[in-house]
């Protein structure tokens, strides 16, 4: 996978992950082109389309579009299911995920994606394993947060 984009029906980018080095100018161009291309497609169109020398695989979940670019020879249908697996993970993690969850907890969305995909390749497909990894990290965070709150209450730290 070359890159992954999440964007809303209105064309706001919600998450972007690039697995190949590219300049910001090129990325901006890519985002703009793909947004217009994908948003213009009808509801019963195929989820795959050819864009430059890449295949674009996308799927819409409620108001969010998930969109992956893969190279020739990569498996299209499985990429589609990879998107689905990611959505499942988000869903399970946030408990009925909505766009707002991703906006407010964007860093979490990135962490979950990092567990699933690394350097553009599938790393771990087991839902259980991925969520374990993410929650383990959360536990570490909660510990530090508890101390923080205590300090905050005592007026030693800022909100």
Backbone torsion region of residue 60, taken as left when φ is above 0, otherwise alpha when ψ lies between -120 and 50, otherwise beta: beta
Distance CA(19)–CA(59), nearest Å, equals: 20
Applying CB under 8 A, does 141 fall inside the site for other proteins?
yes
Applying CB under 8 A, does 138 fall inside the site for other proteins?
yes
Applying CB under 8 A, does 142 fall inside the site for other proteins?
yes
CB of 128 to other proteins, least distance (A): 5
CB of 132 to other proteins, least distance (A): 9
Contacts of 33 (CB under 8 A, 6+ apart): 51
Give residues 78-137 in contact with other proteins (rule: CB under 8 A).
78, 80-82, 84-85, 93-95, 98, 100-101, 103-108, 110-111, 114, 118-129, 133, 135-137
Distance CA(45)–CA(52), nearest Å, equals: 19
CB of 13 to other proteins, least distance (A): 7
Distance CA(66)–CA(86), nearest Å, equals: 10
Give the count of beta carbons closer than 10 Å to the beta carbon of residue 4.
Answer: 23
CB of 47 to other proteins, least distance (A): 5
Size of site (CB under 8 A) for other proteins: 71
């Amino acid at each position: 996978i070359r890159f992954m984009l999440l964007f809303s029906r209105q064309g706001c980018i919600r998450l972007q992950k690039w697995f190949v080095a590219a300049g910001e100018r090129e990325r901006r161009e890519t985002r703009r082109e793909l947004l217009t291309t994908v948003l213009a497609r009808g509801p019963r169109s195929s989820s795959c389309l050819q864009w430059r020398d890449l295949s674009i695989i996308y799927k819409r979940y409620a108001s969010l579009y998930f969109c992956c670019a893969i190279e020739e020879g990569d498996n299209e249908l499985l990429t589609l299911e990879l998107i689905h697996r990611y959505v499942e993970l988000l869903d399970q993690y946030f408990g009925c995920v909505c766009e707002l969850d991703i906006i407010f907890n964007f860093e979490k969305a990135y962490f979950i994606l990092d567990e699933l995909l690394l350097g553009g390749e599938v790393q771990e497909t087991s839902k259980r394993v991925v969520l374990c990894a993410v929650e383990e990290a959360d536990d570490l965070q909660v510990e530090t947060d508890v101390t923080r709150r205590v300090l905050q209450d005592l007026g030693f730290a800022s909100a």
